[in-house]
Chains A and B, each alone.
Chain A
Amino acid sequence: MESTAERIRGGDRLALARLITDIENDQGDYQKVLDDLYPHSGKAHIIGITGPPGSGKSTLVNCLARQFKRIKSDTSKIGIIAVDPSSPFSGGALLGDRVRMNYHATDADIFIRSMASRGALGGIALATDNVAIAMDAAGYDPLLIETVGAGQSEVEIASLAHTTIVVEAPGLGDDVQAAKAGLLEIADILVVNKADKPTADTTAASLARMLSLGEELKGKHPGTHWEVPLVKTSAVDCEGIAALVEHIQSHHDYLQDSGEWAKSDQQRMRKQVNHLLRETLFVSWQEHYDHKAYNDLMVQVLQHQISPHQAAQLLLHGE
């Protein structure tokens, strides 16, 4: 009998879909399956697509998948993870990104999975990292990850993706908005979508000024580093997409040649291991701690006799 990991690597899409559900729900033996899959991951170019709600991310992802299919070999498989927000009230979600991706609905070489953010605030879900590992090991490359509609500080995608594309649209703000810290800073490629709109050039110009000022202030010299390109697209007609994909591939090559690819992989893995260590340490501490001491200290904190910090120190180190 084949193992789940073997079935997933052999192209069993239902097995992959079910594994993703288990990862999201933190249920079943998904950790074991991921352990088996992990040695086969690390090949996919992970491309993050982020930007404000309504800037055209899903439509752009649809065009990108189409273009990648056109230029890659017949055997290549493309993965799409589309994250939309969960309700902070009901916990439910309306996942509507597939509406823009119907072109690929029955393509056996494209796997689209919608994910709800489930309370995570960084623009992706907590489980997105592991879902990416599963799809990577299943042979999907590139892997396109679309974040929730992001405002200014949902920048988590930058630590997961090799290449981060920030999609802006005309009419969302002036050059002060463009100068603010956060979302725009994480762009490896900046896209002004809806280039068919009359004010697109103004938006592109103020973003271009922001980019060139950044280079000047950092004293960077042309040709010595990755210069963030600004690409105009009109995703509704898939215009400008060939140029965008060329930039994505140049960035891929730049990362490989400069050693940045290995560096970002290393950072990501370290972060994941540290995160798991923190969780595991807490759980193992919980198994052994002194319940009575814990409750007594909580009472003292509630009565403002000691601070939460002191309580934690006492629980860990005693008097």
Chain B
Amino acid sequence: MAKKIRVLIAKPGLDGHDRGAKVIARALRDAGMEVIYTGLRQTPEMIAAAALQEDVNAVGLSILSGAHMTLVPRVLDLLKANGQGNVIVFVGGIIPAPDVEKLKKTGVRAVFGPGTATAEVVAALREASA
């Protein structure tokens, strides 16, 4: 059985806009990946626990609430604390340009804003997991 890329798509925080997360989940599925989707309103603790039990290669965080500078570093810290510092973390949603650089400095691999082609996300993830 060939190795599969396993990705957790999670929606941390309190906004209820899950269309983007679902589109990405579907695109990754169609690209042959195994995508775990956990639904709305996840805490960083819930996300880290799921990432561990599911032994994922990557975690995609979809945030449209503006709370990314609080939530994303917390997820990264928890992953590291659990021995999963090697997991690729990418972020999607409404992220202001100055924050994109800050997030990348904390360890986020890529940030995908509105209008990103799904093929771009797939290619970036494949490259990062290679």
Q: Are A118 and B53 in contact (CB under 8 A)?
A: no
**Which of B29-37, B62-70, B104-112 has 4 or more CB atoms under 8 Å from chain A?**
B29-37
- Per DSSP, chain A at the interface is mixed
B55 and A93 within 8 A (CB): no
Q: B84 — which chain A residues lie within 8 A by C-beta?
A: 14
Residues of B within 8 A of A112 (CB): 50, 53
Decide if A105 touches B42 in the complex (CB within 8 Å).
yes
Residues of the B chain whose Cβ atoms lie less than 8 Å from the Cβ of A20: 55
With contacts defined as CB atoms under 8 Å apart, how many contacts are there between chain A and chain B in the complex?
90
Which single residue of chain A is at the shortest CB-CB distance from B5?
Answer: A92
| Chain B nearest CB, measured from A216 CB (Å) | 45
Contact B54 A94 (CB under 8 A): no
Decide if A102 touches B35 in the complex (CB within 8 Å).
no
A260 to B108, CA, bound (A): 53
With a cutoff of 8 Å between Cβ atoms, the chain A residues found around residue B53 in the complex are 13, 17, 111-113
Q: Interface residue count for B (Cβ, 8 Å)? A: 32
A 14-60 contacts with B by CB, 8 A = 14, 17-18, 20-21, 24-27
Interface residues of A in 275-316 (CB under 8 A from B): none
A219 to B53, CA, bound (A): 47
Is residue B129 within 8 Å, beta carbon to beta carbon, of the partner chain? no
Question: Whole-angstrom distance between the alpha carbons of A18 and B84 in the complex?
Answer: 11
Tell me, yes or no, whether A179 is within 8 Å of chain B by CB.
Answer: no
Of B29, B52, B55, the contact of A94 (CB 8 Å cutoff): B29
Once bound together, how far apart are the Cα atoms of A116 and B82, in whole Å? 24
Minimal beta-carbon separation of B36 from chain A (angstroms): 5
A75 at the interface (CB under 8 A from B): no
Q: Which of B3, B34, B39 contacts A95 (CB 8 A)?
A: B34
Answer whether residue A264 sits at the interface, using C-beta atoms and an 8 A cutoff. Answer: no
Q: Which residue of B lies closest to A27 (CB)?
A: B3
- Can you list, as one digit per residue, whether each of A112-136 has a CB less than 8 Å from chain B (1) or not (0)? 1110101000000011000000000
CA distance A13 to B81 in the complex (A): 13
Counting CB contacts under 8 A, is B49 at the interface?
Answer: yes
Which residues of A lie under 8 Å from residue B42 when comparing CB positions? 102, 105
**Docked pose: A14 CA to B1 CA in angstroms:** 22
Verify if B102 is at the interface (C-beta below 8 Å from A): no
* A118 and B30 contacting across the interface, CB-CB below 8 Å: no
Which chain A residues have a beta carbon within 8 Å of chain B's beta carbons? 13-14, 17-18, 20-21, 24-27, 86-87, 90-96, 98-99, 102, 105-106, 111-114, 116, 118, 126-127
**Lowest 5 CB-CB distances: which A-B pairs, in order?**
A17-B55, A99-B39, A105-B46, A92-B29, A92-B32
A-B residue pairs in contact (CB < 8 Å), sample of 28: A13-B53, A14-B82, A17-B52, A17-B53, A18-B55, A21-B55, A25-B4, A87-B29, A90-B29, A90-B31, A90-B32, A92-B29, A92-B35, A93-B29, A94-B29, A94-B37, A95-B34, A98-B36, A98-B38, A99-B37, A102-B38, A105-B42, A105-B49, A106-B45, A113-B53, A113-B54, A114-B34, A116-B34
